Amino acid sequence: MVEAMTDTTADARLAAEIAAAAGELLLTLRVAEQGTVGGRELGRRGDHAANVFILDRLATDRPGDAVLSEESVDDPDRVGADRVWIVDPLDGSKEYGMPGRVDWAVHIALWESGRGLTAGAVAQPAVGAVYATHDVPVADHDDTRRLRIVISGSRPPAFLAAVAREVDADLVPMGSAGAKAMAVVRGDADAYVHAGGQWEWDSAAPVAVAQAAGLFCARIDGSPLEYNRPHPYLPDLVICRPDRADILMDAIAAHAPVSTDAPAVAMVRAYLRAVLTHDASHVRLAVDAWSVENGQRTGESGAEIRDRLERRDRGRSPRRIRDLTFREHPGAVVARYLLDVVAGGEPSTVSVTEHFTVPGAEIRSIVAIVEPHRKNS
């Protein structure tokens, strides 16, 4: 038992050391690129640089361990590994690319077979903080103020307004899952609730640290948070002070939807959201992904498809997706919907059927048929 504790502490210290160093790298890059690039491009550069650094360190210090990273191709062999590091090199890349924002983080967690999350660290470089499982203090919450629930600033769950009214809480938007979870760890907030879709790397390190701080952590339906699964989609979570868990979970059960998207459907939904928002940061595309529209090749790589999603076409501007339905097949999803667009200054509607090949944790191909909607004729 002593040896296991010693090993776990060493892993936690390593996670904290690497997360802190990656954070310093990100701060340096942010300053160096100031005035040159910003926004999504700065976030991409930060993601890439931090990922390379973290993978190099893990390969050196824990050469026999597997890694699941947001910025790397998923290796299915990790599912059978005894030890897997789950990494988000830059959580909150959107906020990182915005001057003055501090709500972004570096996540590094260790999952072990039969034990679950055993070590982890969350660095918040912009505020000079690193939280790790081996020395995180027990959270101290203020009972004299109203409950504070931190939520996604861009994708807040619709049901939380009703939950907040029921438990008499304020909803506080914030970027980065790590920043939100650490707000609860510090006692600045009482709970963090998310149901808009996430991946294992979004929550693994925050959950590891929150559990070490004595906080309640679960899915929104109360089931355990499980990691290193074949598909790393983990759409929702609750992190909260344990003495408020029952009342909060009861309110969520009364107002939250009873089901969530299957992983492949959630990936397609993220793609369709990017069609409207021109923000493809949450879209998982294989490096060699390709796309076709009405028999014409429109993308030869994941990077090209992502660039097309984020490019604003003045000739045809998508405005709204309506009547969306999904049909899931083994390794594939078919989406059918109506797309309201403005083309040449005139509004119109097209009917879209898209076939997505999703064999694992990435979209491999997209074949679309786009036709004028019958009501336009």
Distance (Å, whole) CA 103 – CA 107: 13
Q: Is 124 left (phi over 0), alpha (psi -120 to 50) or beta?
A: beta
Question: Token digits for 150?
Answer: 């931190």
Mean pLDDT of 162-174: 95
Residues written for the chain: 377
Q: What is the pLDDT of residue 377?
A: 45
Contact criterion met (CB below 8 Å) for 310 and 242 = no
Shortest CA distance to 87 belongs to which of 176, 205, 182, 8? 205
Going along the chain, which residue ranges are E strands? 66-69, 83-91, 105-112, 116-124, 129-132, 147-152, 169-174, 191-194, 216-218, 237-240, 285-293, 296-299, 316-329, 332-343, 346-357, 363-372
pLDDT-derived band at 6 (thresholds 50, 70, 90) equals low
Residue 215: helix, strand or coil by DSSP?
Answer: coil
pTM: 0.88
User: Is the domain 263-376 a CATH 3.40.50.720 member?
Assistant: no
- Longest pairwise C-alpha distance within the chain: 75
The architecture that CATH gives domain 2-131 is 2-Layer Sandwich (3.30)
- Structural domain spans, the chain: 2-131, 147-255, 263-376
Alpha carbon of residue 289 to chain centroid: 21
Could you report the per-residue pLDDT of 131-148, keeping only the tens digit for each? 999 999 887 777 888 999
pLDDT at 2 over 50: no
* CATH classification (class only), 147-255: alpha beta
Q: Are the C-beta atoms of residues 19 and 51 closer than 8 Å to each other?
A: no
The model's pLDDT over 232-291, given as tens digits with 9 standing for 90+, comes to 999 999 999 999 999 999 999 999 987 778 899 999 999 999 999 888 888 999 999 999
